[in-house]
A and B are shown apart, each in its own frame.
Chain A
Amino acid sequence: MAALIALVVATPLAVAIALYITHYAPRRLAAGMGYVIDLLAAIPSVVYGFWGIASLAPALVPFYAWAADHLGFIPLFAGPASVTGRTMLTAGLVLAVMILPIISAISREVFTQAPALHREAALALGATRWEMIKMAVLPYGKSGIIGGAMLGLGRALGETLAIAIVLSASGGITFNLISNSNPSTIAANIALQFPESTGLAVNTLIASGLALFLITLAVNMLARWVVNRRADFSGAN
């Protein structure tokens, strides 16, 4: 659930970043920013968790109150709003920030690989920059974006500590994004309960780990398949 939110938020932003760096930003700035984004991809997840609970969650509290008042008719935003901000939506946003550098790094790679001849041909025919991107770059990079998003989803699904720190989890299953009671995620559940559990409880947790493993394995295989299919069709090599 949090992974889905993260994906929905992060993918368009990441693609926009990649486009900006490859096609809009001034050349010298672009190299530096690409480097910064790569650095951010390497920041440990526990730090993201810290930031989520210390900065993002309090900052979102007024927004939750507002959403509960005005958007309460949508089941996703039904009140009562959380006063700590440790909600599913916050967790999703933290994850989004986390997978943003990954997706944008992959998309950037694909965009720079788009054949220069196609781009120049489009520009020579009088296309504006956006038309050039739409006609030459995006079709070429589409499966790369999808693959990158899937890898991001894989990382978000398996992400443990950012969730364990940010989310105040309770047992029930709800689809309410902004209240205090949230369903936990598999990985966070393992991390929170493992140090204290013994005997059969350990087996339960390992079994849930197996389920998580299978899910991410499936997502990753799908992503690889999508990315590899592009290599067959592109004819660039």
Chain B
Amino acid sequence: MSTQMHSAPASTPLPSGRAPLRSQRQLPRFAAAGIFAAGIVVGAGLSALTGFSIALTVIYGVVLGTLAVYVVSRLVEGGRKATDRLVTSLVGTAFAIAMIPLVWLVWTVLSRGLRRLDGAFFNSSMQGIIGDGGGAYHAIMGTLIVTGITAVISVPIGLLTAIYLVEYGRGRLAKAITFFVDVMTGIPSIVAGLFAYALFVLFFGPGVRLGIMGAVALAVLMIPVVVRSCEEVLKLVSNELREASYALGVPKWRTILKVVLPTSIAGLGTGITLAIARVIGETAPLLITVGITNATNLDPFDGRMATLPVYAYYQLTQPGVPPEFAIDRAWTAALILIMLVMALNVVARLITRLFAPKTGR
């Protein structure tokens, strides 16, 4: 585009809009970046005047650089191009601002979590631990058990609902289900926890804490997500495949089983994996329904269990004395949680890649 390199002569700035075509000036390609860099240098100088700090340098530099680019571009290229450059740098700046906390977060968790990422953390529970040592064996197992039960409950329900919506559902009922599934995906997690608690109190009396309760609460959160993603995937299966199957005289249920599901298996796997990744980090409902314990409890029908997010939460907020060991444990638990979520995401990607249908398209 801008291969013609004008040397930006300081001609009279033409009023934008009325400018004849020939007089369109362009800044050389790297001028904008150069001016921006100059702005940052000036910004560094300014902040050096008032006591040097990196934050001030960046703020001054970005503001000055943006302004300088805008003004120069306005003088040389006219208003429209100047606005374009202004917006480009604004969008870039906003992107940078938004990335700062995200990168910062990952870095903090990594640097603080690595301190206790050792064998003992995976091998021992918190029973009888005061101060140093201890681990999250019980919490990791609890998380795996509760999430596993959740998946067992919600995957069949969610998948079958999605099949109903795509293949059978017609009219008002299907519309109502779709709408409420949509709305339920945004339900606050703690409300799901309260629901499960209220439900189980009816049967077991007040004050009950069970692993299975947590699984029910998480299932309430997970089913809409599964339905939603499976529905999207099933909709992608082209109608020609179904019609070809019907034309061969295959009944509907067999068509679904032998044609629709195998075609969409990759998408279904991805959707379900991502749904699991989403509920595995939920803390609030587990805080209410499962509680926390220091001992290893692998039976979801009997008493409190520890789960990783709740474990991390309690280690951070009620560290005991001396606090630093518990806080280290909390960060490590957070790190493991993130790694679990990332791993599930990667698995989802792999499923997409490996099981993608081999179509002739």
Contact = CB atoms under 8 A, between A and B. Distances in A.
Please indicate whether A and B come from the same complex rather than being unrelated chains: yes
Interface of A: 12-14, 16-17, 19-20, 24, 38-40, 42-51, 53-56, 93, 97, 100-101, 104, 128-131, 133, 151, 154-155, 157-161, 165, 187, 190-191, 194-195, 198-199, 202, 205-206, 209, 212-213, 216-217, 219-221, 223-224
A206 B312 contact: no
Nearest to B187: A216
Contacts, number: 178
A220 B313 contact: no
B342 interface: yes
Contact of B98 (A16, A43, A49): A16
A129 B85 CA distance: 9
A199 to B, nearest CB: 8
A129 B194 contact: no
Interface string B111-126: 0100000000000000
A161 B109 contact: no
B287 interface: yes
B341 to A, nearest CB: 5
Contacts of B134: none
A212 B206 contact: no
B147 to A, nearest CB: 12
B190 A165 contact: no
B12 to A, nearest CB: 22
A132 B266 CA distance: 37
B330 A212 contact: no
Contacts of B127: none
Contacts of B80: 128, 131
Contacts of B187: 158, 213, 216-217, 220
B19 interface: no
B188 interface: yes
B341 A42 contact: yes
A19 B91 contact: yes
A195 B190 CA distance: 13
A221 B281 CA distance: 25
Given A16-B98, A48-B105, A50-B331, A194 B288 contact: yes
B57 interface: no
20 contacts: A17-B98, A20-B94, A42-B274, A42-B278, A47-B109, A50-B334, A56-B101, A100-B102, A128-B84, A130-B83, A130-B84, A157-B188, A158-B189, A158-B191, A161-B284, A165-B317, A194-B288, A195-B287, A217-B187, A224-B183
